C-alpha cells in the first residue's frame, strides 16, 4: 500500500537584538535564571510595551530574503492562554494581519542527488518569546523567565515537504540563510532556533486518497531529532490507520511530544484552534505602516544569499554543484574567503580543494573563523597559483602552507629558505628515471614476466624518482617519461 508523507514546519527564531521585543531588558544567553527580566517581561500591572525597532527591521529583512509579500499595514494581537512560563497570561503576537505573507525557500539537492526543490511559505510573523520550563524529578517544574519577551520570528511553511530528509534539508538551508543575513545565530542548543513539525499521510487505498489526522510534533531540540521524530511518526500513523481507519475528518489535530531518549512521540493534547486563543487587537501598541522607501532600504542591505552564491560559484568558477554547496554551507566567512582567492587565481578547482581539505581542517582544529585565519586569501591564491603553474608540486605546496600557518612569514621567504623549487627540466628528470630503472632491475623483470601490473610498477618507480630528486620533480613529467620508458619493456 502506497502513501505520501505530508510535512509542514513551524520554525521559531530568536532575533539577535540587545533588548527584548517590547522593553529595554537585555537578551544575553546563559545568565542565572530569572535575572534577565524587567517589569514589562514579567507582566507587572501598569507596564506598557514599546516596539523594538531593530527587531522589526530584522524581521523585514528575513521576509524579503524569503520572497514574501510585505504588508503595508500590520498590527499586533493578544494571544490569550494560561501557562506558567507566560507571566501576562497572553502573548503579544500577530494574527490576521501579519507583516508578511507567502514566500518560498529553495532547497539544494542532497549529496546523493535526491530531494531539493522549492518549499512554499504560508507566512512570516513577529511575536515575543515565552519563558522556559524545566521539568525535574518529583513532579516539580521550574520556570526561567530570562527569555520571556525576546523577539521571536515565526516562519510557517506550506505542507510541501515529502520526507524527513527534505525537512532536515529545509531547516539546514533556512538556518544558513538566517546566518548569512545576520538576523540570528540559530543555535538550537541555546533555543534561538526551534522547530515544530506537522505531519500526516495521504494513503492510496482502492483508488482513493485517504488523509490521516495531522499531528504536530514538539520538543525537537536538534535537526537529527526532527528527522528521527518524523520517521517514527510516519510509521506510527500508518500502523495506527491500519488498525482504526481514522481519517483527518474523524479526529482533531493532535500535539505529541518527542522523547529523544526513547525515540518515540507521546500524546500531549488536542491542538488548540484560533478560537481557543481568543485573539483580539493589542490595545497598547500602535499598528506599523511599512512604506516602499523602507522596504527598498532593507532590501538593499540583504546582499548575496546562499542560493545565488552557489549558482555564481558554478557559473563563474566552474565548480561542481557539490563543491559550490560545501563552500557556501560552511558559512559566509568561508564563501568570502574562497571568493577572494578565486578572484586572484584561475585555479578555481584547486583553490576549492585546498580550502575544503586543508584550510577548513586547520581552522576547525584551532577553532578559528576564516576572517581570523593566519593565511590571508591573497597569499593562498599566490601559493595555489604556483602549484597550478608547476613551480611547486603538491607536496611542496602543502609543506609551504604549513609553514605559512605556523610562522606567518612571507611566502617568498619561506620558499627561498626551504629551497622549494620543482624540477621541471626534461633532461634532469629523464636522467633520474634512468637511474631509478638501473637501481631496480627486479621491478623491470616483474613487469616483463607479468608478475606485477604496469600501474603498480610505475607507481613504485615514480616514488624512487621522487626520492632521487628530493621530492622536487614535476610528478606529471615523471609519469610521462616513465610511461614511455616502461612501454619499451612490455611492447
- Scanning the structure block, which residue is given the C-alpha cell 518515540? 264
- The reply to whether 345 and 282 lie within a common domain is no
Last residue of a domain, one of 274, 294, 314: 294
Contact by Cβ (8 Å): 156, 190: no
pLDDT surpassing 70 at residue 272: no
- The reply to whether 375 and 460 lie within a common domain is no
- The reply to whether 151 and 56 lie within a common domain is yes
Length of the chain: 491
- The reply to whether 404 and 332 lie within a common domain is yes
Mean pLDDT of the chain: 91
For residue 145, tell me if it sits in a domain.
Answer: yes
- The reply to whether 35 and 184 lie within a common domain is yes
- Scanning the structure block, which residue is given the C-alpha cell 538566517? 178
For residue 361, tell me if it sits in a domain.
Answer: yes
- pLDDT tens for each residue of 342-359: 999 999 999 999 999 999
Please tell me the predicted confidence (pLDDT) of residue 5: 97
For residue 156, give the nearest of 183, 191, 201, 119 by alpha carbon. 119
* Helix (H) / strand (E) containing 265: strand 264-270
- pLDDT tens for each residue of 409-419: 999 999 888 87
Residue 242 CA: distances (Å) to CA of 248, 253, 378, 491? 14, 18, 63, 70
Last residue of a domain, one of 266, 294, 322: 294
Query: Across 280-289, 395-404, 431-440, which has the greatest mean pLDDT?
Result: 280-289
For residue 186, tell me if it sits in a domain.
Answer: yes
pLDDT surpassing 70 at residue 212: yes
Last residue of a domain, one of 294, 321, 355: 294
Say which range, 82-96, 195-209, 403-417, 452-466, has the weakest mean pLDDT.
Answer: 452-466
- Scanning the structure block, which residue is given the C-alpha cell 616502461? 486
- pLDDT tens for each residue of 461-478: 888 887 877 777 777 777
Phi/psi at 342 (nearest 5 deg)? -65, -30
- The reply to whether 486 and 388 lie within a common domain is no
Q: Where does 344-440 have alpha helices with state H?
A: 348-354, 360-366, 377-388, 394-407, 411-418, 426-439
Contact by Cβ (8 Å): 19, 26: yes
Q: Where does 44-87 have alpha helices with state H?
A: 53-65
- pLDDT tens for each residue of 108-118: 877 777 777 89
Average pLDDT over residues 324-350: 93
- Scanning the structure block, which residue is given the C-alpha cell 501598569? 46
- The reply to whether 367 and 431 lie within a common domain is no
Please tell me the predicted confidence (pLDDT) of residue 132: 92
Report the number of distinct structural domains present in the chain.
3
What percent of the chain lies above the pLDDT cut of 70? 98
The whole domain housing 200 covers 3-294
- The reply to whether 63 and 204 lie within a common domain is yes
CATH of the domain at 477: 1.10.10.410
- The reply to whether 288 and 332 lie within a common domain is no
- The reply to whether 133 and 249 lie within a common domain is yes
For residue 299, tell me if it sits in a domain.
Answer: no
Contact by Cβ (8 Å): 41, 244: no
Amino acid at each position: 500500500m502506497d502513501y505520501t508523507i505530508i510535512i509542514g514546519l513551524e520554525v521559531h527564531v530568536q532575533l539577535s537584538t540587545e533588548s527584548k521585543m517590547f522593553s529595554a531588558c537585555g537578551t544575553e544567553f546563559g545568565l542565572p535564571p530569572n535575572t534577565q527580566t524587567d517589569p514589562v517581561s514579567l507582566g507587572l500591572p501598569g507596564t506598557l510595551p514599546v516596539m523594538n525597532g531593530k527587531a522589526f527591521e530584522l524581521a523585514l529583512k528575513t521576509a524579503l530574503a524569503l520572497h514574501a509579500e510585505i504588508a503595508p499595514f500590520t498590527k499586533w494581537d493578544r494571544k490569550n492562554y494560561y501557562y506558567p512560563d507566560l507571566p501576562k497570561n497572553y502573548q503579544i503576537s500577530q494574527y490576521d494581519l501579519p507583516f508578511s505573507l507567502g514566500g518560498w525557500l529553495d532547497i539544494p539537492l542532497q549529496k546523493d542527488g535526491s530531494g531539493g526543490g522549492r518549499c512554499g511559505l504560508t507566512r512570516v510573523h513577529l511575536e515575543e518569546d515565552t519563558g522556559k520550563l524545566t521539568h525535574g524529578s518529583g513532579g516539580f517544574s521550574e520556570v526561567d523567565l530570562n527569555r520571556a519577551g525576546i523577539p521571536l520570528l515565526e516562519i510557517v511553511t506550506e505542507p510541501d515537504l515529502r520526507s524527513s530528509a527534505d525537512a532536515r534539508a529545509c531547516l539546514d538551508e533556512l538556518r544558513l540563510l538566517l546566518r548569512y543575513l545576520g538576523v540570528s545565530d540559530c543555535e538550537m542548543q541555546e533555543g534561538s532556533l526551534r522547530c515544530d513539525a506537522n505531519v500526516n499521510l495521504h494513503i492510496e487505498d482502492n483508488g482513493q486518497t485517504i488523509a490521516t489526522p495531522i499531528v504536530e510534533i514538539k520538543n525537537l531540540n536538534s535537526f537529527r531529532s526532527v528527522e528521527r521524530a518524523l520517521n517514527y511518526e510516519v510509521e506510527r500513523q500508518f500502523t495506527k490507520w491500519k488498525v482504526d481507519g481514522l481519517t483527518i475528518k474523524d479526529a482533531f489535530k493532535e500535539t505529541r511530544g518527542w522523547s529523544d531518549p526513547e525515540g518515540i512521540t507521546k500524546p500531549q493534547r488536542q491542538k488548540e484552534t484560533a478560537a481557543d486563543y481568543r485573539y483580539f487587537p493589542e490595545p497598547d501598541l500602535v499598528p506599523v505602516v511599512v512604506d516602499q522607501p523602507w522596504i527598498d532600504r532593507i532590501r538593499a542591505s540583504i546582499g548575496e544569499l546562499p542560493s545565488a552564491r552557489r549558482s555564481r560559484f558554478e557559473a563563474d568558477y566552474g565548480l561542481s554543484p557539490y563543491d559550490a554547496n560545501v563552500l557556501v554551507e560552511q558559512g559566509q566567512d568561508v564563501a568570502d574567503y574562497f571568493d577572494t582567492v578565486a578572484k586572484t587565481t584561475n585555479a578555481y578547482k584547486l583553490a576549492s580543494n585546498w580550502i575544503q581539505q586543508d584550510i577548513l581542517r586547520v581552522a576547525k582544529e584551532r577553532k578559528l573563523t576564516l576572517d581570523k585565519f593566519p593565511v590571508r586569501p591573497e597569499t593562498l591564491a599566490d601559493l595555489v597559483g604556483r602549484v597550478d603553474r608547476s613551480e611547486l608540486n603538491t607536496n611542496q605546496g602543502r609543506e609551504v602552507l604549513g609553514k605559512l600557518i605556523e610562522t606567518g612569514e612571507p611566502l617568498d621567504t619561506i620558499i627561498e629558505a626551504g629551497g622549494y623549487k620543482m624540477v621541471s627540466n626534461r633532461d634532469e628528470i629523464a636522467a633520474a628515471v634512468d637511474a631509478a630503472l638501473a637501481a631496480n632491475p627486479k621491478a623491470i623483470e616483474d613487469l616483463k614476466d607479468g608478475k606485477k601490473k604496469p600501474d603498480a610498477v610505475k607507481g613504485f618507480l615514480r616514488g624512487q624518482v621522487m626520492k632521487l630528486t628530493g621530492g622536487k620533480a614535476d610528478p606529471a613529467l615523471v609519469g610521462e617519461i616513465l610511461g614511455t620508458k616502461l612501454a619499451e619493456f612490455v611492447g
